[in-house]
Structures are given as C-alpha cells and as structure tokens.
C-alpha cells in the first residue's frame, strides 16, 4: 500500500534483499524481524505480511499463527538474552507504519523503573549512536532463529 513503510519492508523481504535482522523467520502470514532504531537488544516485531490496519481483520490462519509466534519468540528471547520476561504490544499508529505489527520486547532484568511497562517505548526511535548496532541485531537474529528451529 502506498505510504506504508511496513509494506515496503515486506516487499524488500519478498525480493530477498533484507539483512538477516530483518528476516529472522517468515511464515505464510508473518515476518519476524528485529526492530530498528531501538536501544533494546532483541526488540522483535511480528509483521503481518499483507496490509491490514486492525487485528480484527486477521484471517483465521494469520490469527492461528500469531499465538504460537508470540510464545515461541518470547521463549527464544528469554534463552538468548536472559531477559526476565517479554512485553507484547500492538498499536500500528505510527504514520509510516499503520500496518498491523506486534512488538515482542525483551524486558531486561536490570531495566530501570522509568522504562518498565509502557515506558519501554521511550527506548524506541533513539539516535543512531544509542541504537543496537546492525551487527549485534544480526547476531541476535541468528540466535533467535537457532532457538526457534530447535523448539
């Protein structure tokens, strides 16, 4: 869809042009990717592959895939990063990303109180020098994939 950066990223994955962090796993209905522009290692996004703007518009197949993906990605992040738990959120309100996508965010053990719960979003959209470097995102992506494949 025009003006949807998420659709552009899905198309890039379809063309095989995505870096490893941006194509951890692809299912028939969903792409699993590491978020960019975040200070949180392992911030993962589950992106529905077709353009919809409401969870209510998921097909039965897309909905059936979502639950296991959330669970399995959360378990993989706990193993890879040693996080205490994960947060799960879906808003799709950013003007360039109105497309349904579900955030699965590792909650580090040492996360400061101001960033716990919804405050975690204060660590998204950070300056490049504060963001997880691409090489590290690729490392995490490979480890998450390994755990998903083993699970």
pTM assigned to the model: 0.95
CATH of 5-150, one of 3.40.50.10190, 3.30.428.10, 2.160.10.10, 3.10.290.10: 3.30.428.10
Is the confidence at residue 132, as pLDDT, over 90? Answer: yes
φ, ψ (nearest 5 deg) of residue 45? -125, 130
Residue 55's pLDDT is what?
97
**Which pLDDT tens digit goes with each residue over 60-100?**
999 999 999 999 999 999 999 999 899 999 999 888 899 99
111 confidence band (pLDDT: 50, 70, 90): very high
Q: How far is CA 46 from CA 16, 74, 82, in A?
A: 18, 11, 20
In the chain, where the domains are located: 5-150
Residue 1's pLDDT is what?
66
**Which pLDDT tens digit goes with each residue over 113-129?**
999 999 999 999 999 99
Assess contact for 99 and 51: CB atoms under 8 A. Answer: yes
Q: Which residue has the tokens 């690729």?
A: 138
Rounded CA-CA distance 22/20 in Å is 5
- To which H or E segment does residue 8 belong? helix 5-14
Tokens for 103, please give them.
Answer: 């955030």
**Which pLDDT tens digit goes with each residue over 6-63?**
999 999 999 999 999 999 999 999 999 999 999 999 999 999 999 999 999 999 999 9
Q: What sign has the CA pseudo-torsion 71, 72, 73, 78?
A: positive
């Amino acid at each position: 869809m025009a003006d949807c950066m998420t659709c552009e990223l899905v198309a890039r994955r379809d063309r095989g042009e995505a870096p490893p962090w941006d194509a951890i796993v692809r299912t028939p209905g969903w792409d699993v990717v590491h978020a960019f522009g975040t200070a949180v290692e392992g911030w993962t996004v589950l992106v529905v592959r077709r353009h919809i703007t409401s969870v209510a518009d998921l097909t039965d197949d897309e909905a059936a895939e979502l639950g296991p993906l959330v669970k399995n990605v959360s378990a993989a992040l706990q193993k890879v990063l040693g996080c205490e738990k994960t947060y799960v959120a879906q808003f799709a309100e950013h003007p360039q990303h109105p497309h349904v996508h579900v955030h699965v965010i590792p909650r580090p053990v040492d996360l400061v109180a101001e960033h716990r719960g919804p405050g975690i979003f204060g660590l998204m959209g950070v300056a490049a020098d504060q963001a997880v470097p691409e090489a590290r995102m690729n490392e995490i992506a490979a480890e998450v994939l390994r755990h998903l494949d083993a699970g």
